[in-house]
Every structure is written in C-alpha cells, then in structure tokens.
C-alpha cells in the first residue's frame, strides 16, 4: 500500500514539475541534490539570487545562487512538505548551473551544484573551479547541435 502511495505522489510531483519555470526546476534540483547527501535535516529555499537564463540552440542554460536554510523536519521521505524554518538553523549558499535540452521537452543535459555554509568565505581557487564547471555545463550539447546543423553542408551541390 505504501508503494502505491509513493508512486501516486511521484506522479503528482512529476505533473507539477512540468508546470514549473526553469528557475523553480533548478531550485528543486539543488534541494534534491543537497538532500541526497548525508544531511539530518530538511532544508528549504530562503531566497534566490543572481539568476541568469540564457537561450542556446541546444537548449536553455540557467545559472543561479540560492540561499537555503535548515528546517525543523528530519530528512526522511515524505517529510519535506510543510516544514518550518529553524530560526537558529544552518544556512547554505548554493551555486547551480543547469543546461536543459530543447529537443526533449526540457530534459537536463547537464548540471553542477555546489553548496557552502553561509558564513564560510569562498576561496579564489574554488570560485575559479566553480566557474569552469559552469562553463562546461553551459557548453553541453552545443557541439552536437552545430554538427547536426552543418553536417550535411558538404553534400549540397555548389
């Protein structure tokens, strides 16, 4: 019975996800990725900052920073819905870069997320590595798209 309930909730979540904006989908991906790690508490979005959405031939690219905060709920399946923020809970700042595929209804081509404690100052070396990872994600699918666009140009009569 629990399996059917989980399956039903998954289908509802999938239907709702198709109606989300790209920015909302990226925030959901960040939280999903963060909760897969060994964290005891559920974290929720506090604020979204520095959003950039760029359209490319292979699909849209979204880069954003999101502040997330610890809630009063334990990180267990089904406990992420109505959790109140823990006033003195930990806060994280997450950088996310996600490339979507325009040909397959918004499937994720590639993504990169990195979270750090809000009070922790980023090191220059780490920032440079993050930017390189984001550039790699941003370029995903572009070479394939260009090859597909121009692959037959040599066969055309002159």
Q: How crowded is residue 18: how many other Cβ atoms within 10 Å of its Cβ?
A: 9
8 three-class SS = helix
Buried b (16+ CB within 10 A) or exposed e, 67-85: ebbbbebebeeeebeebee
CA trace torsion 132, 134, 136, 139 (10° rounding): -130
pLDDT of residue 156: 37
pLDDT in the model for residue 121: 79
Q: Which DSSP state fits 156?
A: S
Q: How far apart are CA 130 and CA 37, in angstroms?
A: 19
What is the number of other CB atoms lying within 10 angstroms of the CB of residue 32? 11
Report the predicted TM-score, pTM, of the whole model to 2 decimal places: 0.73
**Local confidence pLDDT in tens for the 158 residues of the chain:** 444 333 344 434 444 445 689 999 999 999 999 999 878 999 999 999 999 999 999 899 999 999 999 999 998 876 666 889 999 999 999 999 999 998 887 899 999 999 999 888 778 899 999 999 999 999 988 755 444 444 443 343 44
pLDDT of residue 79: 64
- Domains annotated on the chain, with CATH: 20-149 (3.10.450.10)
Q: Supply the pLDDT for residue 89.
A: 93
């Amino acid at each position: 019975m629990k399996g059917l309930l989980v399956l039903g909730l998954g289908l509802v979540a999938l239907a709702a996800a198709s109606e989300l904006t790209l920015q909302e989908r990226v925030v959901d991906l960040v939280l999903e990725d963060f909760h897969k790690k060994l964290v005891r508490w559920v974290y929720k979005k506090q604020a979204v900052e520095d959003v950039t959405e760029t359209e490319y031939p292979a699909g849209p690219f979204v880069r954003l920073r999101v502040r997330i905060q610890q809630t009063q709920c334990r990180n267990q399946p089904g406990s992420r819905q109505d959790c109140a923020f823990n006033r003195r809970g930990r806060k994280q700042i997450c950088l996310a870069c996600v490339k979507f595929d325009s040909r397959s209804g918004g499937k994720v081509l590639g993504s990169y997320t990195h979270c750090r404690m809000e009070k922790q100052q980023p090191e220059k070396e780490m920032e440079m590595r993050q930017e390189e990872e984001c550039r790699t994600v941003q370029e995903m699918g572009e070479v394939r798209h260009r090859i597909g666009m121009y692959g037959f140009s040599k066969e055309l009569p002159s």
